[in-house]
Homo-oligomer: A and B are copies of this chain.
């Protein structure tokens, strides 16, 4: 799932905050969200990047519901949805649940290859309704989209009259390199951009508290949609997140996460290089949770879905590449999560992956 692991969740602080009295803690919240939480989200965003109008914020039941609302509002059966390939499994699933038609577009080290889109759209024979992107430390590849491509994508969305769903769960978890301005900074209050955010990766996923920033007219529709999806996001944990943010605790927590994840990513990249040399190719993320590994050389013919049960036997888990594309591509690739294990466990895991790959080769030779 890519959840922060338990020792990186400030459980004691959260329990202490929950222990304090809160008026109406268990009542329904407003469908658009607890107003204190909305204010705290605005203040948090202002510290991270830019001031946003609270009238553009809707609290959601995690980032996943943000995506669900966005796709529900925008996608009618047969509408073309451009996605990165590979991309987040549940992002595709949500678009498909509204009978969108998925168009997979390639990703390289500068993120979505925006230059390829006009040709792909022409071949598809219809213009897209939605372009779904994870611009920072993308799930699963760990790659970040360049500023030039973001600007170009905003132009293309304008040209096609399409929406950009800007899904950014990891943006605050940059631990190396230079910050790249977000879609919301490059084109503030652009009615074609829906920004999907969550506290899952920076605080705790079990809370199911996230938000979307969107055009006020679209927000009115989104509130109606959410009203008949889950009425409101759970009230006690909205209050808990609001209280946690109000005390200014998230920034120092983010500092901790960044330094821990930097160390873990480094440990994983080094272990992979030492163990595999050029028999695998990996991305080198500057933030987030994930790294993308492609099998090369002796391993190039191994199918990562077939490898999976064997890897489990060897005591290491990953997500096989085909999970991240509706087309079933990426049979030679897999996603590793560096965020949830200590450097020592990461080194052990890489060694186990190596042993599983070698066992797979032997098995292949024996057939």
Residues on A lying within 8 angstroms of B by beta carbon are 1, 3, 6, 9, 11, 14-15, 18-19, 24-29, 61-62, 64-65, 67-68, 72, 77, 90, 93-94, 97, 204-209, 224-225, 227-237
Partner of A230, one of B72, B77, B230, B231: B230
**Given that A15-B19, A90-B228 are contacting pairs, would A204 and B26 also be in contact in the complex, using a CB cutoff of 8 Å?**
yes
CA distance A209 to B237 in the complex (A): 13
Quickly give the copy total for this chain. 2
Q: Which residues of B contact A205 (CB under 8 A)?
A: 26-28, 231, 235
Contact across chains for A97 and B225 when beta carbons are under 8 A apart: yes
Contact across chains for B207 and A231 when beta carbons are under 8 A apart: no
Chain B nearest CB, measured from A42 CB (Å): 22
Prevailing SS type, chain A contact patch: helix
CA distance A1 to B26 in the complex (A): 13
Chain B nearest CB, measured from A228 CB (Å): 4
Contact across chains for A62 and B231 when beta carbons are under 8 A apart: yes
Q: Which residues of B contact A25 (CB under 8 A)?
A: 11, 206
Q: Which residues of B contact A26 (CB under 8 A)?
A: 6, 9, 11, 14, 204-207
Most chain B beta-carbon neighbours within 10 Å: one of A18, A62, A228: A228
13 contacts between A and B (CB under 8 A): A9-B26, A18-B18, A19-B19, A26-B207, A28-B206, A61-B230, A64-B228, A68-B228, A68-B230, A90-B227, A90-B231, A208-B233, A208-B235
